[in-house]
A = this chain, B = another copy of it.
């Protein structure tokens, strides 16, 4: 379908996100070079990646840690990290001047064979690649944290990104087992944060106006809408929810949804009073001191869910093959 990129991968920035990207590429068989402007962070990265891979192995998501780890090496020079690389994934601190600086540095040493994706979650590539020579080979490749467990990656081209760049990075992401989605042009929040934003704004409004508790609003998703959404998107969900498919559904329920959306146009700022109200309810459910343990629980559940989905997808394929 789409071209895929063969060759080695450079990880630029070895924080949480960069290390997760290293696992994504290395477990899929790619050779990976790690680079961080802070040599201490670069030196510590491989060890922390080993821990992350061991976690994945415990949950059945990686077969052999040593083999995967063998594909990863550290480079202390940006040029050496990029030399001949097929693709570089940048994951430095999210501030426009920091992004500009690293892309300028990349531009000075990168060869013509390397495409460059930024993990930027909000700053569009047009804000930090406008003036560099390799800008047609740059785009945003925004993951959801952590990308070695949550597969979606948003590919967002700047106006000058070459279509071939988007196609090749899409192919690479598919090839390494991620789930790329492609925007045709830049928009604030891309897809992921836009969809999250509208849902959060309505959830906060319902809590503010006292229609339900924070815990009950959460349950509406976690024991309701979120179940189907963990393996089908919202369009497929409604396509299967009316006898005549999505068009039938849209004609029946469109007017209701438009009325609801039209009643949500006042976008109150989350001020300190409202934040305190939500915070107080959350802290009764989970004391602040237990946030780290609960985050570890979340990661464990995400890994268990990833394995569950992998097994179900395998069953789907076997059943398709049997047809």
How distant is A303 from chain B, measured CB to nearest CB, in Å?
A: 11
How many protomers of this protein does the assembly include? 2
Given contacts A218-B234, A220-B181, A308-B304, contact A229 B239 (CB under 8 A): no
The dominant DSSP class at the A interface is helix
Contact, CB under 8 Å: A240 / B294? yes
How distant is A22 from chain B, measured CB to nearest CB, in Å?
A: 20
How distant is A210 from chain B, measured CB to nearest CB, in Å?
A: 6
Given contacts A229-B225, A246-B279, A304-B312, contact A199 B234 (CB under 8 A): yes
Q: Which of B240, B250, B256, B301 contacts A122 (CB 8 A)?
A: B256
Q: A197: CB under 8 A from chain B?
A: yes
Stretch at the interface among A45-53, A104-112, A150-158: A150-158
Stretch at the interface among A4-12, A33-41, A82-90, A265-273: A265-273
Given contacts A258-B270, A305-B227, contact A198 B191 (CB under 8 A): no
Contact, CB under 8 Å: A195 / B185? no
Q: Give A208-219 as 1s and 0s: 1 = Cβ < 8 Å from B's Cβ atoms.
A: 001111111111
Q: Give chain A interface residues in 166-208, CB to chain B under 8 Å.
A: 179, 181-185, 187-189, 191-203, 206-207
Contact, CB under 8 Å: B196 / A198? no
Contact, CB under 8 Å: B239 / A286? yes
Q: Give A283-323 as 1s and 0s: 1 = Cβ < 8 Å from B's Cβ atoms.
A: 10110100100110110011011101000100010000000
Contact, CB under 8 Å: A234 / B305? no
Contact, CB under 8 Å: A212 / B270? no
Number of interface residues of A (CB under 8 A): 106
Contact, CB under 8 Å: A196 / B225? yes
Given contacts A235-B282, A240-B294, A262-B267, contact A256 B197 (CB under 8 A): yes
How distant is A171 from chain B, measured CB to nearest CB, in Å?
A: 15
Residues of B within 8 A of A262 (CB): 267
How distant is A304 from chain B, measured CB to nearest CB, in Å?
A: 6
7 intermolecular pairs with C-beta atoms under 8 Å apart: A195-B203, A197-B256, A200-B238, A222-B230, A228-B302, A247-B276, A301-B312
Interface of A with B (CB < 8 Å)? 122, 144-145, 150-152, 154, 179, 181-185, 187-189, 191-203, 206-207, 210-236, 238-241, 243-247, 250-251, 254-265, 267, 269-270, 275-276, 278-279, 282-283, 285-286, 288, 291, 294-295, 297-298, 301-302, 304-306, 308, 312, 316
